[in-house]
Structures are given as structure tokens and as C-alpha cells.
Amino acid sequence: MTEPLLRTVGLGIAYQQGRPVLSDINLTIEPGEFSGIVGPSGSGKTTLLRVLMGAIAPPRRDPQGLWQGTVERRAGLRMAYVPQLETINWDFPVTVFECVLMGRPQRGVRFRASAAERDEVMTALDRLGIAELAGRHIRELSGGQQQRMFLARALTRQPDLLLLDEPTSGVDITTRHAVLHLLGDLNASGISIILTTHDLNGMAAHLPNLVCMNQRVIAHGPPAQVLTAPVLEATFGAGLDVLNHLGMPVVVDSGRGAPATGELLDPHAGLPAAPAGPGGGTDD
């Protein structure tokens, strides 16, 4: 059996004592994995992603015991991260080329792209079909192109594991499909992929693997196994039914068993949740 890329053992994190964000996360990510982390807003999925990529690391001193467990990475594991588009300052003066080049660490005084780096960046952009936009300012791209630009930046790091935070939030259905296909191709080329999504039907049902979480991991496996009423109720705290449409699980809001606050907060309570487009999902 091959060595897993990454493994968390009993991982628990709290920002304040007594208020855990993640608890007892035991997750093993095997080579070739292509998984979506699904959970409601505040379920800790972005935190988990940030821990996996190392942006949140155990503090040097932890008298309150806010960190528990460990994150083990395979020696020499190369990771790359694609941020949520909403977190980016799109007025920042960088061109697409400059943005992708950021992914390559600088060697010595040579801060401009060497011929080899230029080739590498252009190859990555070309692979994602946006090579002709290299000289453009980042704001001139559409949402899908912006996503591709960050994917290109990630690819220049030649990652074993690619982490994406909500890659489909704020993009239209066509782009969502394109992103999904693109990720499928990258996965087929040998890159393991973990992404977060709140988009149960548009995205999650199309992924080979799902991790349903709400502070802890509730289920981990293929959608057909994971997308069941009990798992979804434990994850989202609301009554959701799963229908079978052409062999694909489709999640709908059953309108039952939802907590009173959920009914008040959710304008779509009682309506089918599919497709969970903008406004239908949650934001993390």
C-alpha cells in the first residue's frame, strides 16, 4: 500500500477555550484522491483546509491546549493552494503573468522571469487555455478565467496535492462545469485534489469522494454512500432528503425536522434545495 499524502490524527482546534472549531478530525488523504469537503457555514471546512495547507500551524506555546492532535505530511509533499476569489484585491496592480510567476520562488537577485520560468508560466497558462491573457490586468478576467489563473499559479509549483477553497462560489453554472472538468483532468494527470464546497448538487454530487463535516468528520466516502438523509441531517442540522436521478444522488430540502431558527433564517426552507446556486448555499 502506498504511503498517504497527508494524515490528521485526532486533530482538534479552538480559537477560544471551550469553543472548538474542529474536533477529533481523523482524515487520511491517499495519492490520487479527489475529494470535496462539504459542510454548512461555520462548520470549520475552511479552517481545516488552512490547517492542511499549513497556513494555520500549531502555536509555539499553547498553555490553554487550543491545539490537539497532529497533521502528518509525507516527506517532500508539494502542496498548492487556490484561494477563494472573494478574498482577492482585484485592484492590485498585477498582470496575469506576474500573478502566476509569484508561485515560483525567487532564486538570488533574479526577480524577473528567466527564460525557463517564462516557458513554465506560459505552459501553465496555455494548459488552462488563457495564455493569450498573460499581459492583461487581473481585473479584466472573467470569474472563470480568474479561477484558471490561480490554478495556473498552483500548477507552476508542480504540486502533488492541490487545495481549493470554494472554487465554484460566485461563478455561473457553465464555469462551474468547466472548473469541475478541469479539476477532473488534473486529477487524472496525477494531482490529488481537495476542495471545499457548499454546493451539494452542482459540485459535490459530481466528485468521486466527499467529506461531510460539521466540526468533526461525519462521513467520508463516495457521494452515493455519503449523501444519505442521516449524514446530511448530522452535517447540516436540517432535514434533507436524497433522491436518485439517473444514478446520481440529488439532495432536496424535505422541510421537516429543521430547527425553528433554521426555518426563520432560511428563506428557501420547504423549497427544493437543488440546484444550490447563489443564495441557496452557505458561505464560509
> Where along the sequence are the contacts to other proteins (CB under 8 A)?
50, 53-55, 79-81, 83, 87-89, 92-99, 101-106, 108-109, 111-112, 118, 121-122, 126, 131-137, 140, 157
Least distance CB 210 / other proteins (angstroms):
23
For 172-205, letters b (16+ CB in 10 Å) and e give eeebbbbbbebbeebbeeebbbbbbbbbbbbbbb
Q: Which is nearer to other proteins, 72 or 132 (CB)?
A: 132
**C-beta of residue 273 within 8 angstroms of C-beta of residue 240:** yes
Alpha helices, DSSP H, located in the chain: 45-53, 96-101, 115-127, 143-155, 173-188, 223-226, 229-236, 260-265
Cβ at position 157, least distance to other proteins in Å:
7
> Which of 123, 214 has the CB closer to other proteins?
123
Residue 111 Cβ vs other proteins, minimum distance, rounded to whole Å:
3
Query: Residue 257 to residues 34, 89, 198, 242: CA-CA distances in angstroms?
Result: 32, 41, 20, 15
Instruction: Give dist(CA 221, CA 232) in Å, integer.
Output: 13
Cβ proximity to other proteins: between 73 and 220 the closer is 73
Q: How far is the CB of 39 from other proteins (least distance, A)?
A: 20
- C-beta separation of 252 from 241 below 8 A: yes
User: How near is the Cβ of 137 to other proteins at its closest, in Å?
Assistant: 4
* Residue 110 C-beta: closest distance to other proteins, Å: 9
Strand 79-82 with 240-245, pairing:
unpaired
Instruction: Report the residue number, 109 or 116, with the smaller CB distance to other proteins.
Output: 109
SS3 22: strand
Q: Minimal distance in Å, beta carbon 80 to other proteins?
A: 7
Cell 444522488 -> residue:
249
CB closer to other proteins out of 150 and 236: 150
Q: Using an 8 Å Cβ cutoff, are 169 and 11 in contact?
A: no
Nearest distance from C-beta of residue 53 to other proteins, angstroms: 4
Place of cell 444514478: 247
CA–CA separation, 171 vs 277, rounded Å? 9
Nearer Cβ to other proteins (3/132): 132
Closest CB to other proteins among residues 122, 252: 122
Q: What is the DSSP letter of 236?
A: H
Q: Which is nearer to other proteins, 88 or 224 (CB)?
A: 88
